[in-house]
Amino acid sequence: MNLSEIILKRRSVRKFLDRPVEREKIEVCLEAARLAPSAENVQPWRFIVVDDPGVRQRLAEAAFSGIYKPSRFAARAPVVIVILARPDIVANKLGKAVQGTQYYLLDIGIAGEHLVLAATELGLGTCWIGWFSKRGVRKVFSIPPKYDVVAMIALGYPDPKHLGPKRKKTLSDIVRYNTFGWK
C-alpha cells in the first residue's frame, strides 16, 4: 500500500478478533513511532506494551471503571499500548509559557499517528483512547510523576464484521484559501 491507501484504510477499531498480535508487528509499529519528529528532538515518548491478558485485565479495571467505562472495549484488544511523555523543561515549559502550546502533546500525537499508520499497513486495527483514569494507569505500573500518562492505543486484528464506513467532512467544509470564511 502507498501512504494515501493506508490513510484511506485507517479506522478507529473497537472490535477485535481474538487473535494475538505478533511481537514483530508490534515492534514495527513502535519503530515507526520512534522515528517521529519532535520539538527540539526531545523524543518525549515512552511506550508500555500490554499484551499479557492478566496485566491487560488489571489495567482495564484500573483505567476503565466508573465514568471511564465507555473505553472498556479496549480491554478486549489483544494489545493496549500506554503512551507516556517525559516533557523536556526547555522545549515544553518555554513553549507553553511563550506560545501557550505544550509541544510534547503534539510530539506524542505525531508519534502515535506514525504507530497507527504502520499498524494499518500491517493489517492491524487501532483506536486512540484518551478517556481513561490516568491515576489508575499510574497505580498499575507505578509510574512516577515526572511522566505524563497521555493516551492509550488499542491494537489488534480488526473484526471485519464491525468495520463501518469512514465518515469525514469534505475539503470544502474544512479548507479556506487566503481568508477565514466560516460562519
Sheet hosting strand 45-50, strand order edge to edge: 45-50, 79-85, 148-156, 125-129
163 has pLDDT over 80: no
Look at residue 37 in the predicted model and tell me its pLDDT: 96
Mean pLDDT of the residues in the chain? 92
151 has pLDDT over 90: yes
96 has pLDDT over 70: no
pTM of the full structure: 0.91
Identify the CATH assignment for 3-174 out of 3.50.50.60, 1.10.260.40, 3.40.109.10, 3.30.499.10.
3.40.109.10
93 has pLDDT over 80: no
Domain spans in the chain, listed from the N-terminal domain onward = 3-174
Q: What is the pLDDT of residues 41-77, one digit of tens each?
A: 999 999 999 999 999 999 999 999 999 999 999 999 9
Neighbours of 106 (CB within 10 A): 14
Look at residue 90 in the predicted model and tell me its pLDDT: 65
- Higher-confidence position of 41 and 166: 41
**Hey, what long-range contacts does 25-31 have (CB within 8 A, 24 or more apart)?**
25/119, 25/122, 25/124, 26/51, 26/79, 26/155, 28/118, 28/122, 29/115, 29/116, 29/118, 29/119, 29/122, 29/124, 29/155, 30/81, 30/115, 31/118
